[in-house]
Amino acid sequence: MAEPAYIVTSDSETTGEEKPSTFSEIAIGIDIGTSQCSVAMWSGSRVELLKNTGNQKIMKSYVTFKGNTPSGGVCSQLSHEDEMLSGATIFNMKRLIGRVDTDPVVHASKNLPFLVQTLDIGVRPFIAALVNNMWRSTTPEEVLAIFLVELRAMIEAQLKRRIRNVVLTVPVSFSRFQLTRIERACAMAGLHVLRLMPEPTAVALLYAQQQQQNAHENMGSGCEKIALIFNMGAGYCDVAVTATAGGVSQIKALAGSTIGGEDLLQNMMRHLLPESGNLFQNHRVKEIKRMGLLRVATQDAIHQLSSQTSVQVDVDLGDGLKIWKTVDREEFEEVNRKVFEKCESLIIQCLKDAKVEVEDVNDVIVVGGCSYIPRVKNLVANTCKGKELYKGMNPLEAPVCGAALEGAVASGINDPLGNLDLLTIQATPLAIGIRADGNKFVPVIPKDTAMPARKELVFTTIHDNQTEALIIVYEGEGEKAEENHLLGYFKIMGIPAAPKGMPEINVCMDIDAANVLRVLAGVVMPGSRKPAIPVMEVRMPSVDDGHGWCAEALNRSYGASLDLVTLQNKA
């Protein structure tokens, strides 16, 4: 019987508990980056990266729409540059997935050489590829799924068997809603997500394995080592602080932001052609071509600036528009000063959250495509008080190797030599809580809590005889509720009539090992030990597309009538 191409695991489109498999299939590690992608798996004795038919270990993440059969960067032999100029190629889907059209990241994507249209009303953006002079609409999930189907075919051809379970790496700053979109894309491609691993935690696991091997070789005691991991790719920048010993990587803190090589590129494009934003507004065929040309030229210049101190940019954009300019490294660094400052602040924040002093860091690891940029290496080393950077890892392959290790561990594979006696104790990258105390975000599970986690907080009513309460669940770090990602909401009904402040409303949040979040709410009246109404259990995220509207709509309809406050003496 053929396996269904679409595997829907639940109504909410998220993956549930792992189903017990009849045989121990090793989950494949996949690192889909904003611009590049790689695949690796545990081969029985070590992690091996899989190559495509073009003998590449690192493949470009894009999909080209042509006629009826879109093709991705896995096996496409055409040069990326040519395709990019035509408008038929969609890339950067990792930056667009799960975002609404009011998101600044989506707005910044409007000068990519394909169509990203925003109506600025909080719905998903309109994304389309130019095929035979027609805009063919698509979604980031679809593009990712097409790419994954191609990737899956490549892996299955090499392994000569079907694959199903995968471990994917994701940016630290992804919201849980964005994670469901990644899971959705995998389901569309017939893949089951065993784990979604924040990228630096995958690197941390590889580091844990390396440390364990060193400890074996040196007969060392395997004492605790603290590592700071800085990962900057095209789309995202992530930082993790991990404490490692005996093969266990304990994530102490995570920090992440949507800044990356794409920002460096766009800032440079604006620097080379200040009116570029206006020039490309209408997305005519000629404009798309110009956009592509400028992009390629700028990208080349940035790459060259990693090895040389100045570069000559010489590009003819057509119709007499030419750019002929010498750019030196200082100029590039100045144009992107804010991006680099943000990187520094992420490192400082992560160390602070981990309660680790720079002096106590044993190793500083820099990975990701941007790790080749001298300024990036310098800023990490300087922020870590000039510590020498760790040399034992390939900056482009480390995350996927970590994902492959996690895949083997989570699939229950044993290694007789003990190379898989590993474990990652993950931490929540963002706080999860509810709107209460006015318009505040009150975390129930704080940021950097070890997972699986279960925490609760007690709230109470703000009006006399308030019989209903709205539980609006957010995820993030913002103080005000609306500064965070909305995950879902539900109403508690039938609270017994009582003076305000009397009913105890227990809100409990539970994250299991598969990172599934459940929110439970119950009502207890003082003096009673039994709940006044049945406990409600809601799996989150429960929001769908257009969720940007929901919080506003709730506020408009209910105001503060169903609000809650934290019960101080119970907190």
Please report which residue ranges of 11-70 form alpha helices under DSSP H. Answer: none
Residue 382 or 528: which CB sits closer to another protein?
528
Is 456 a binding residue for another protein by CB under 8 A? The answer is yes
Q: Which stretch binds another protein (CB under 8 A): 70-78, 80-88, 318-326, 517-525?
A: 517-525
Residue 240 or 508: which CB sits closer to another protein?
508
State the minimum distance, in angstroms, from the CB of residue 270 to another protein.
43
Q: Write the DSSP assignment of 378-442 as a string of letters.
A: HHHHHHTTTPPBP-SS-TTTHHHHHHHHHHHHHTT---TTSTT--EEE-B-SSEEEEEETTTEEE
Q: In the range 406-425, which residues lie near another protein by CB under 8 A?
A: 409-410, 412, 421, 423-425
Residue 191 or 409: which CB sits closer to another protein?
409
Binding residues for another protein, how many (CB under 8 A)? 40
Q: Which stretch binds another protein (CB under 8 A): 121-129, 182-190, 338-346, 522-530?
A: 522-530
The pair of structure tokens assigned to 454 is 């279960």
Is 455 a binding residue for another protein by CB under 8 A? The answer is yes
Is 20 a binding residue for another protein by CB under 8 A? The answer is yes
Name the DSSP letter for residue 86.
T
State the minimum distance, in angstroms, from the CB of residue 509 to another protein.
9
State the minimum distance, in angstroms, from the CB of residue 443 to another protein.
8
Give the closest residue to 162 by CA, choosing from 57, 10, 26, 50: 26
The pair of structure tokens assigned to 383 is 């922020």
> Which helix H or strand E contains 293, and what residues bound it?
helix 285-305
Residues 87, 402, 522, 548: which binds another protein (CB under 8 A)?
Answer: 522
Residues 147, 139 contacting (CB under 8 angstroms) = no
Is 245 a binding residue for another protein by CB under 8 A? The answer is yes
Residue 389 or 520: which CB sits closer to another protein?
520
* Cα angle, residue 277 at apex, residues 274 and 281 outer, rounded to 5°: 150
CA distance 422 to 246: 8
Is 529 a binding residue for another protein by CB under 8 A? The answer is yes
Residues 256, 171 contacting (CB under 8 angstroms) = yes
Q: Write the DSSP assignment of 90-146 as a string of letters.
A: EE-HHHHTT--TT-HHHHHGGGSSSEEE--SSSSPPEEEEEETTEEEEE-HHHHHHH
Residues 452, 463, 478, 491: which binds another protein (CB under 8 A)?
Answer: 452
Is 528 a binding residue for another protein by CB under 8 A? The answer is yes
Residues 6, 17, 120, 318: which binds another protein (CB under 8 A)?
Answer: 17
Give the closest residue to 455 by CA, choosing from 494, 401, 511, 379: 511
Is 477 a binding residue for another protein by CB under 8 A? The answer is no
State the minimum distance, in angstroms, from the CB of residue 210 to another protein.
17
Q: Which stretch binds another protein (CB under 8 A): 12-20, 261-269, 392-400, 538-546?
A: 12-20
Encoded one letter per residue, x for contact with another protein by CB under 8 A and - for no contact, window 495-514 reads -----------x-x-x-xx-
Residues 7, 9, 18, 306: which binds another protein (CB under 8 A)?
Answer: 18
Is 232 a binding residue for another protein by CB under 8 A? The answer is no
Q: In the range 364-403, which residues lie near another protein by CB under 8 A?
A: none
List own/partner pairs for 267-271 with CB under 8 A and 24 or more apart: 267/335, 267/336, 267/339, 268/298, 268/301, 268/302, 268/327, 268/332, 268/335, 268/336, 269/111, 269/294, 269/295, 269/298, 271/327, 271/331, 271/335
Encoded one letter per residue, x for contact with another protein by CB under 8 A and - for no contact, window 170-209 reads ----------------------------------------
Residues 407, 39 contacting (CB under 8 angstroms) = no
Q: Which stretch binds another protein (CB under 8 A): 106-114, 116-124, 526-534, 546-554?
A: 526-534
> Which helix H or strand E contains 483, and what residues bound it?
none
State the minimum distance, in angstroms, from the CB of residue 534 to another protein.
10
Residue type, 368: G
State the minimum distance, in angstroms, from the CB of residue 406 to another protein.
8
Q: HSE of 176 in the Cβ direction (CA atoms, 13 Å)? A: 30
Q: What are phi and psi of 5, to 5 degrees?
A: -70, -30
Residues 117, 304, 531, 565: which binds another protein (CB under 8 A)?
Answer: 531
Name the DSSP letter for residue 306.
T
Q: What pairs with residue 380 in β-bridges?
A: none
The pair of structure tokens assigned to 296 is 């390629």
Residue 201 or 383: which CB sits closer to another protein?
201
CA distance 224 to 244: 5
Residue 279 or 520: which CB sits closer to another protein?
520
Is 210 a binding residue for another protein by CB under 8 A? The answer is no
Q: Which stretch binds another protein (CB under 8 A): 155-163, 298-306, 324-332, 450-458?
A: 450-458
The pair of structure tokens assigned to 91 is 């890339």
Is 516 a binding residue for another protein by CB under 8 A? The answer is no
Name the DSSP letter for residue 202.
H
Q: Which stretch binds another protein (CB under 8 A): 85-93, 94-102, 110-118, 242-250?
A: 242-250
Is 533 a binding residue for another protein by CB under 8 A? The answer is no
- The contact set with another protein (CB under 8 A) reads 17-18, 20, 223-224, 245-248, 250, 409-410, 412, 421, 423-425, 446, 450, 452-456, 506, 508, 510, 512-513, 520, 522, 524, 526-531, 535, 571
